[in-house]
A and B are shown apart, each in its own frame.
Chain A
Amino acid sequence: MSMEEVVSHAKETAEKVTAQFPEAEVTASDDGWVKVKVQAGRWLDLATFLKESSGFDYMFYITAVDWKDHFTVVGTVRSMTTGVWAEFRTDVTEQGGDHPWPALASVTGVWPGANWMEREVYDLFGIDFTGHPDLRRIMTPEGFVGHPLRKNFTDVRTDRPRLVPHR
């Protein structure tokens, strides 16, 4: 598939997404990328739309950025038929009350490959993916306290329980 075709597919996809999500910021770039920014409430709708209506069948990654006052969750998917990449992002903030973590709908039901990536974001940034089938820590050792990629993370190494006590 030539680059021109990929770019025209990207523009087409951007128009479709704009029609479906008028409040979202959508751009299509000249290198075959579609970039979408939505409200957190429409995250799952957007994911389903990208998978079902635009053919984005390959989940590439999910990650997050800590801006101190809020987090941005970023997902990247690709269509294996048209070769278009799509990057979709949303802002989430910490909630007060009895559920202080930032929460976002899980896209595991749309792309099963997102399972471990959401676990990683949960482990390192402390973002709760509601509807995730198995939201456990994946990278830090058992018994770890805190979310190390948060800007306000402080290491409590000295009084943390260790799997193997140091000699």
Chain B
Amino acid sequence: MVVEDGGPTAPSGPGSLIQVPAAPTNADGDLVIANYLPGVAATSLKTVMNWGRANSLWYMLFGLACCAIEGLMAGGAARWDYDRFGMFFRSSPRQSDLMFVAGTVTEKMAPRIRTIYEQMSEPRYVIAVGACASSGGPFKDSYAVVPGVDKIIPVDIYVPGCPPRPEALYYGAIKLQEKIMKEKWHKKQQAKAGARA
């Protein structure tokens, strides 16, 4: 590789102690720090934080009806296994980042769901599993059913199906990871700091 404008001319050759590569740039002309300092990667703090969050989603089970069997029990058991994505279930909302609302949300259950959502610490995410949690599903017109859990708490991902297969839920979980990777949390922090000032 030829570098037009020179670059560092560290002593390199058979006799020198430190082997510095001649060209610090890659084929696109970008500076590659790793070429100078092997074992060091440079990235933004935002990416590292998002990467950590997206790959250690601890989820809270909120099974309300049939979808809980498919999505949470079958999906969490050995045949499909959420652990592959770094997702573990916690039975306490205070240790959870993500809540699966799986099943039919009734008016009577609504205050409990809201309380548990509020007990989760931020950042918190919600996946609505199945037709019932997304929109009320087959019971939309019932006197006792909330037509979609998004009527009472914010929802990040909707997984359709009655019930959705575990694969569909994994697709939803991967979509949530993609969403977290794009998150601009530092902007949120700035906005909060601005609001406080």
Task: Spell out A's residues near B (CB within 8 Å).
Answer: 139-142, 148, 153, 155, 157, 162-164, 166-167
CA of A162 to CA of B107, assembled, Å = 7
Which of B111, B143, B150, B152 has the most chain A CB atoms inside 10 A of its CB?
A: B143
Shortest beta-carbon distance from A148 to chain B in Å: 5
CA of A142 to CA of B106, assembled, Å = 12
Please state if B144 and A163 are interface contacts (CB–CB under 8 Å).
no
CA of A166 to CA of B151, assembled, Å = 5
Please state if B110 and A164 are interface contacts (CB–CB under 8 Å).
yes
Closest to A163 in B: B111
Please state if B144 and A148 are interface contacts (CB–CB under 8 Å).
yes
Please state if A157 and B152 are interface contacts (CB–CB under 8 Å).
no
Interface residue SS majority, chain A: loop
Task: Spell out B's residues near A (CB within 8 Å).
Answer: 106-108, 110-111, 114, 143-144, 146, 150-152
Q: How many A-B residue pairs have CB under 8 A?
A: 33
Q: Which residues of A contact B106 (CB under 8 A)?
A: 141
Shortest beta-carbon distance from A136 to chain B in Å: 14
Closest to B141 in A: A155
Q: Which are the 10 A-B pairs with shortest beta-carbon distances?
A: A141-B108, A166-B151, A164-B110, A141-B107, A155-B143, A163-B111, A164-B152, A148-B143, A164-B114, A164-B111
Which of B107, B108, B110, B151 has the most chain A CB atoms inside 10 A of its CB?
A: B107
Shortest beta-carbon distance from B51 to chain A in Å: 31
